[in-house]
Structure 1
Amino acid sequence: MGKPVFINSYYTCQIMAATGMLAGRIALVTGAGSGIGRAVCRVMAREGAAVAAVDLNQEAAHATIQGLPTAGSMSHQAFCADVSSGGSVSELVQNVRAAFSALPTVAVNSAGITQDAFMLKMPEERFDKVIAVNLKGTFLVNQTLARALVSEGITGASIVNIASIVGKTGNIGQANYAASKAGVIGLTKTAAMELGRKGIRVNAVLPGFTETPMTDVIPEKVKATVTSLIPLNRMGQPEEIAEACLFLASDRASYITGAALEVTGGLSA
């Protein structure tokens, strides 16, 4: 089965942005420098959002916003932040608010890393680093942005956290990654319970095996084995994950919160 085709015409995007699903919204996207995060930025901009593209590598974030369709009178902005640091995340939210003169009402937490090793050989620092970025980082962005939204009485916001199907199934050589993504699922469900009455929806997207820089390092033989287990018989594309994020972020999902949406080509726990 061939790869899906996505509309990427500049002129088509310009027309769609004027009346898109997120027209007039500000969307904060972490991990925006590559992979799923970059695809999310493109989809959000296509649908009319002004994008705050966040990455530890600010040059990569700048590269992401180049060529994004304009969002009315607002321009897209690139930011550098370490999501594993509370101080850095607090400064990020303040900087985004200053740059756009408003808080984002859409956030997609895509920042994540892998540092794989068999559990019996995994150094403690590898476990701690993955948990710090993938789980603690997601917590800090959820907490900091939600606090700011509640403080200003802003409702109708949507947070989407990128987890992984590995958070449900586990995966050999990824004890740290699987634990971090399982934590993101639990965090999402708890945040949804606590923030629903504040007018903030929180959902998670669980990608399956997706073609990103993280999976580029996997040997082709291993990719072929994994692909054979996927009912759709192929790996996912970042844009397919981004479209799921868009739906959950938009008002079309206005009665959905606490969900963990699997986008896996049929591969399930």
Structure 2
Amino acid sequence: MGRFIVTGGASGIGRATVDAMLERGDSVGVIDLNPASLEALGAQRPEAVAAGRLVTARADVSSEPEMAAAITGFAEAFGGLDGIVNNAAVGGAFGPLVDLRVEDWDATFAVVTRGVFIGIKQVARILIEQGTGGSIVSVGSAAGMVGDAAPQAYSAAKAAVIHMGRVFGAELAPHRIAVNTVNPGLIETPLNPRGRRRTEESFAAAQPWPEMGRPEHLAQAILFFTDPRTSFITGEVLSVDGGMTAIGHRLGTLMGTNSLQYGVTGMNHGMTGRSAVVHDGREG
């Protein structure tokens, strides 16, 4: 079966994708920054670890040397690669525009956008050398499709991820390497948990579907794009959002994620294990 890498693969959508790929019979290399999550993944899939079908590496996706080392190691362990799922991200900078800090904006793009670029670049190099084609899937976001869906930095960074799928899909097509993007909407993950009444009510108002999506919904979309039978599809964007983008704009206002509603400025590091930072005072 296939040999794939999943970044941010120790939790949420990434973890669901890893599980689905292992069930399909694939070998999977997982890159994550959170050591506790990586340890838990290995402990929960001991049979895959013992069989050499699950290999993990702690790496920062925004660092090309760390990513290159991890990706090369996976290729050597598996005897080659068939693709990568660029899933790692952070919530990123938040707050009103005039108070945002440049370093927080840059840190958001470093993970969300540069991390995807590095993943595509490093795996494409190996796939081109192999001459066997392959599949690259990046996880975008419904926030990257509209102007009022999430903090500005995250939304803009995800828009870049979506467009990278198009430009690199076109560039790599002659090598039979497909590049596609899946756009999640309101998905139940550690960052968007069920059980918070206000969260559930605001999310329900932002989409036609009555329940939040699950990581498994995204995993199945990713399996579709990494199936050799769909290799002729490239440069495409698939929304997995319960019809959220179909109904239009003002998602951020309905969901309570519009940066003007925060009242504070800071940086959300997502599931990396690093704590969120809230800045005191106004920038400038």
Question: TM-score, normalising length from structure 1?
Answer: 0.84
Say which structure, 1 or 2, has more relative contact order (CA 8 Å, 6+ apart). 2
Q: Which residue is 2:3 aligned to?
A: 26
- Give secondary structure in 2 for the equivalent of 1:203: strand
* More off after superposition, 64-73 vs 84-93: 64-73
The structure 2 residue matched to 1:80, chosen from 58, 65, 71, is 58
Alpha-carbon contact 1:117-1:173 (below 8 Å) kept: no
- Give secondary structure in 1 for the equivalent of 2:191: helix
Whole-angstrom CA distance in 2 between matches of 1:205 and 1:159: 11
Q: Which residue is 2:167 aligned to?
A: 190
Unaligned runs of 5+ in 1: 1-23
- Give secondary structure in 2 for the equivalent of 1:191: helix
Q: Is the aligned partner of 1:61 residue 2:59?
A: no
CA RMSD of aligned residues (A): 2.1
- Give secondary structure in 1 for the equivalent of 2:153: helix
Matches within 5 A, 1:102-141: 102-115=79-92, 116-141=94-119
Alpha-carbon contact 1:31-1:54 (below 8 Å) kept: yes
Question: TM-score, normalising length from structure 2?
Answer: 0.80
- Give secondary structure in 2 for the equivalent of 1:215: coil
Alpha-carbon contact 2:143-2:150 (below 8 Å) kept: no
Taking only the aligned residue pairs, the percentage that are identical comes to: 32
Instruction: Note the alpha carbon deviations across 1:133-189, whole angstroms, 9 max, x for none.
Output: 01000000000110121123232x101000001000133551000001000011010
Q: Name the aligned partner's letter for residue 260 of structure 1.
A: V
Matches within 5 A, 1:1-269: 24-68=1-45, 70=48, 74-100=52-78, 102-115=79-92, 116-155=94-133, 157-171=134-148, 174-216=151-193, 220-268=197-245, 269=248
User: Cα distance 1:218–1:114, how it changes in 2: closer, same or farther (>3 A)?
Assistant: farther
- Give secondary structure in 2 for the equivalent of 1:169: coil
Whole-angstrom CA distance in 2 between matches of 1:217 and 1:130: 25
Alpha-carbon contact 1:118-1:172 (below 8 Å) kept: no
User: Cα distance 1:173–1:73, how it changes in 2: closer, same or farther (>3 A)?
Assistant: closer
Whole-angstrom CA distance in 2 between matches of 1:249 and 1:75: 17
Whole-angstrom CA distance in 1 between matches of 2:148 and 2:107: 18
The count of residues paired between Structure 1 and Structure 2 equals: 244
Unaligned runs of 5+ in 2: 249-284
Instruction: Note the alpha carbon deviations across 1:179-214, whole angstroms, 9 max, x for none.
Output: 010000110100100001111100000000111122
Q: CA deviation at 1:74?
A: 3.8
Alpha-carbon contact 2:188-2:213 (below 8 Å) kept: yes
User: Cα distance 1:250–1:196, how it changes in 2: closer, same or farther (>3 A)?
Assistant: same
Alpha-carbon contact 2:182-2:222 (below 8 Å) kept: yes
User: Cα distance 1:267–1:173, how it changes in 2: closer, same or farther (>3 A)?
Assistant: closer
User: Cα distance 1:171–1:222, how it changes in 2: closer, same or farther (>3 A)?
Assistant: farther
